[in-house]
Amino acid sequence: MKSAQTIANDVRDGSSSAVAELQRSLARIAERNDELNVFLYVDVEGATAAASAIDERRSRGEDVGPLAGVPIALKDNLCQIGIPTTCSSKILEGWRPPYSATIVDRLIAAGAVPVGKTNLDEFAMGSSTENSAFGPTRNPLDPSRVPGGSSGGSAAAVAADMTSISIGSDTGGSIRQPAALCGLVGMKPTYGLVSRYGLIAFSSSLDQIGPFAKTVGDAALLLEVIAGHDPLDATSLPEPAPSLVAHVNDGMAGKRVGLVRELYEGADESVVASVRAAAEALREAGCEIVELSIPELRLGLSAYYLIAPAEASSNLARYDGVRFGRRVDGEDVTAMMEATRTAGFGAEVKRRIMLGTYALSAGYYDAYYGQALKVRTLTIQAFARAYAQVDLLLGATTPGVAFKFGEKSNDPMAMYLNDVFTIPTNLAGDPAVSVPFGRGEENLPIGVQLLGPPRSEAQLFAAARVLEIADGRA
């Protein structure tokens, strides 16, 4: 699969066509989707019409956009008008939204061609895409292993060359973690940089939308297209999209990078070795590497698993069998709602709703949810102190490489620990990017994580580009 930038250039100059690029994408999906279960829905008719329209516009000499003719996969928690949107949950099976997410409209305006909806952990709750109501997605690099989660389908689409770019959402690491396990670049942007209008909510103070790509340049281009203020999202930052592609090759000379002990301690030896090798690569590129300890980050996992379930219990209350989605009849309204939710929600979603409802209940609110919010404030303050000393931070994305199916699914705590290095950034609302660097068990990819203060996406991509070159993938 060509890079998104190459596809767009080829379509714009006429050396390829949007229809031809789409056909290549659809052929690859047809070849591997039965094996990998990446796409829940492929919009052949709609994508073909969109690609044909782009070719027509180009033939008339019109500007067809920075993503001209680039096939793109969308995580199935993003609304696209008239297209089935399920969040990989039976409670939304068959629902077709009457509107599109803001970023879907922006992608189409930029010339991208949405080809379909990708699998995820139900309502984005999981770290392996094993929690989908429609079966797990397999890692294209080793189908006996998970692709990560919750955006496993979006990561697998790019890793399997079904599309060169895709969109995911990141609540506690759900872009960066599957990017690491599938050998991709994955970015969680600053909270509010990308509109969430049309993203079906899991945890509203944590959710963010971001890109997957094989190259840093493609990830920067995709984020540049979808970022910027949206009056339909009350949490949207009141500023235009930042310039990102122009700064990818800025380098890191003279910058200070903090190597954070709490962001790699406890990881596999191969992961720790990759993080240290990444630090050395940045040093060789002109950075000063500063060893840091941020002990507050050890509290992140505990705080997250109170805040996120609490917000989920509130957000998922709307699935009541009355307004939209699945309905299972009962003798009265209470029985109907109970039957609908019993049949519609999977085990992990039920677990988190119950955790969140308990944390918010009278008598426990201050002891659990209130304490978690205090920890969140401590995390924000700790990051701010660190960024007063250094420009960026460096650590591991995940504790290990992609694990085998079933290895952790019966132990929720073991599964939750997969996000131990990614969660603190979500609590703070800061940006972070995972970039492939090195190999571990069975020659599987390892992701290292670069973290920055709010609105530092351009510098993060520049640092990721340095590592991309050092890893020999440029």
193-243 pLDDT, tens digit each? 999 999 999 999 999 999 999 999 999 999 999 999 999 999 999 999 999
Average pLDDT over residues 438-466: 98
Among 25, 75, 100, 154, which one carries the catalytic annotation?
Answer: 75
Q: What is the pLDDT of residue 249?
A: 98
Q: With contact defined as beta carbons under 8 Å apart, do 180 and 398 qualify?
A: yes
pLDDT digits (tens, 9 = 90+) for 340-386: 999 999 999 999 999 999 999 988 999 999 999 999 999 999 999 99
Token pair of 111, please? 């010339």
SS3 359: helix
195 given a catalytic annotation: no
- Given pLDDT bands bounded at 50, 70 and 90, which one contains residue 171? very high
Q: Is the dihedral of CA 431, 216, 447, 391 positive or negative?
A: negative
User: 97-129 as b/e, with b when 16 or more CB fall inside 10 Å?
Assistant: beebbbbbbbbbebbbbbbbbbbbbbbbbbbbb
Average pLDDT over residues 311-323: 93
Q: What is the pLDDT of residue 323?
A: 84
Q: C-alpha distances in angstroms, 216 versus 327, 445, 452, 472?
A: 44, 16, 16, 13
CA distance 84 to 372: 36
Point out the least confidently predicted range of 18-27, 138-147, 322-331, 460-469: 322-331
Q: Which residues contact 96 (CB under 8 A, 6 or more apart)?
A: 82, 83, 84, 85
CA distance 179 to 107: 21
Q: What is the pLDDT of residue 414?
A: 83
Q: What is the pLDDT of residue 474?
A: 65
154 given a catalytic annotation: no
Average pLDDT, the chain: 97
User: Which class for 271: exposed (0-12), middle (13-18), buried (19 or more C-beta within 10 A)?
Assistant: buried
Among 16, 151, 166, 174, which one carries the catalytic annotation?
Answer: 174
CA distance 396 to 450: 8
The backbone torsions φ and ψ at residue 251, rounded to the nearest 5 degrees and listed phi first, read: 80, 180
150 given a catalytic annotation: yes
The CB density around residue 188, as the number of other CB atoms within 10 Å, is 36
- Given pLDDT bands bounded at 50, 70 and 90, which one contains residue 42? very high
Q: Which domains does the chain have, with CATH numbers?
A: 4-245 (3.90.1300.10), 256-298+375-470 (3.90.1300.10), 302-366 (no CATH)
DSSP 8-class letter at 16 = S
Residue 33 has pLDDT above 90, yes or no: yes
Q: With contact defined as beta carbons under 8 Å apart, do 423 and 376 qualify?
A: no
DSSP 8-class letter at 123 = G
Residue 113 has pLDDT above 70, yes or no: yes
Residue 292 has pLDDT above 70, yes or no: yes
DSSP 8-class letter at 409 = T
Q: What is the pLDDT of residue 112?
A: 98
Residue 1 has pLDDT above 90, yes or no: no
pLDDT digits (tens, 9 = 90+) for 229-286: 999 999 999 999 999 999 999 999 999 999 999 999 999 999 999 999 999 999 999 9
Residue 471 has pLDDT above 80, yes or no: yes
Average pLDDT over residues 6-17: 98
Among 25, 127, 132, 150, which one carries the catalytic annotation?
Answer: 150
Upper half-sphere CA count for residue 3 (Cβ side, 13 Å): 18
pLDDT digits (tens, 9 = 90+) for 423-451: 999 999 999 999 999 999 999 999 999 99
Token pair of 209, please? 């939308």
Q: With contact defined as beta carbons under 8 Å apart, do 188 and 210 qualify?
A: yes
CA distance 336 to 341: 9
